[in-house]
Amino acid sequence: MKMRKLLIVDENQVVGFAGGAEAVVCNLANRLSERDWQVALACMNKENGMPWYPLHSKVEFTNLCYNGDGNPFSGVAWLEKKIRREILRGIGGANFCVLGHAFSDPKRDYIFRHFISRLCKYIQQYKPNVIMSVTANSAWLVQQALKSENNHIPVVCMSHSSADEYEKMSDREREAWGKCACVQVLQPQFVNHAKASGARRVVVIPNAVRQSKDDEVCDLQEINHCIMTAGRLEGNGKRQHLLIEAFSLIEAQYPKWRLKIYGEAENRRYERRLKKIIKEKKLEDKVYLKGKTTKLEECFHEADIFVFPSKLEGFGLALCEAMSAGLPVVACRECYGGSDIISDGVTGILIESTPESIASALEILIEKKSLRQQLGYKAHLAMKKYSPEIVVDKWERLLDEIL
């Protein structure tokens, strides 16, 4: 039997970060480790600690920032790069363009140089026979580390974004995709977009959705008078402000109802914007910013309706988990991660991206308990095709084939 030793590389924030991609990566690592794969997850974060999502004891987690070579985010060299970056940005703007010459970001270049060097050493030590990168940029970093040792380990690149984001990829990321053994996308309609962005071979593997058992779905006979959403407070991608504004249009008509917003405040300026809207609308006792939670499934059971106001999503994991839990859901039609998952009027309601449209859908669901139950039941059944067993089977077949 072939050795099955997988290294997952993520250059993004992993330590203590409660993002959807991080949930997917940690859960996949856990599931594969239970299937006799040797799995390691490597990152390089300034923060010292573990991922927010628990890892199986069999999964080896390494933060390359603390691998014995000294912290690259401290000392004179790091300070000098930060200062130089601010000077270039002050003179040349976001593109670092000074007198017609575009400079590269010195801070980013410094991070990448250390990441590549440390990753190269770790690959030599761990000796994987397949590497999975979490982003196209991670794939480029892996390929640079492999190139320095003339190593030909196959690289599989995950894509957690929607096709809209492919257009924003850098030349370096497109080149990295072209060198990967395979690029994974989340939806069938993303395949051609991925190929147009440089990928040679593309496979469709959706995210695994945590399944609620048939006898553990939300009891919609009981009314909690609660609308909820879940997602990072990061700006105009998740768009929680639309939901708050929509709720403000109907809250006087339904005084018992409350809105709960779960998610880490990634963008403090956007968090302040949401708080300002809440205050201006005099909703302090009706709208709650609950922060991040490890018990989202319990939150589903305290709600009656789940709203997903996102503009850009690759898959919409929180939405799918709410559907599996049997909650009726509302999502924006323009969002791939909602409209491709929901069958309008059957497993949820699709709406336009306006407060008025969201408010109208909320009124319908608040008024019609039977519709909430019908949509929630069918949503629960629809999510079974994304069970972890089915999705991990697809990953395992792909990785075995590449090996």
CA 321/CA 212 separation, integer angstroms: 8
Q: Which pLDDT belongs to residue 85?
A: 83
Please say whether the beta carbons of 8 and 42 come within 8 A.
yes
Supply the CATH classification number for the domain 5-72+103-208+387-402.
3.40.50.2000
CA 365/CA 29 separation, integer angstroms: 38
pLDDT in tens, 76-109: 888 888 888 888 778 877 776 777 777 788 888 9
pLDDT in tens, 57-66: 999 999 999 9
pLDDT in tens, 356-377: 999 999 999 999 999 999 999 9
How large is the average pLDDT for residues 19-25? 89
pLDDT in tens, 231-254: 989 887 899 999 999 999 999 999
pLDDT in tens, 114-158: 999 999 999 999 999 999 999 999 999 999 999 876 678 999 999
CA 254/CA 223 separation, integer angstroms: 13
Residue span(s) of the chain under CATH 3.40.50.2000 come to: 5-72+103-208+387-402, 214-386
pTM (two decimals): 0.86
For residue 299, pLDDT beyond 80: yes
Give me the half-sphere count of Cα atoms (radius 13 Å) on the Cβ side of residue 69.
17
Q: Which pLDDT belongs to residue 27?
A: 95
**Of the candidates 291, 295, 290, 371, the residue with the CA atom closest to the CA atom of residue 329:** 371
Q: Which pLDDT belongs to residue 88?
A: 79
CA 282/CA 32 separation, integer angstroms: 49
Q: Which residues pair with 38 in a beta bridge?
A: 5
For residue 210, pLDDT beyond 80: yes
Average pLDDT for the chain:
92
pLDDT in tens, 175-195: 999 999 999 999 898 999 999
Q: Which pLDDT belongs to residue 102?
A: 76
How sure is the predictor about 167, in pLDDT bands with cuts at 50, 70 and 90?
confident
Question: Between 3.40.50.1780, 3.40.50.2000, 3.40.50.10380, 3.30.2350.10, what CATH number should domain 214-386 receive?
Answer: 3.40.50.2000
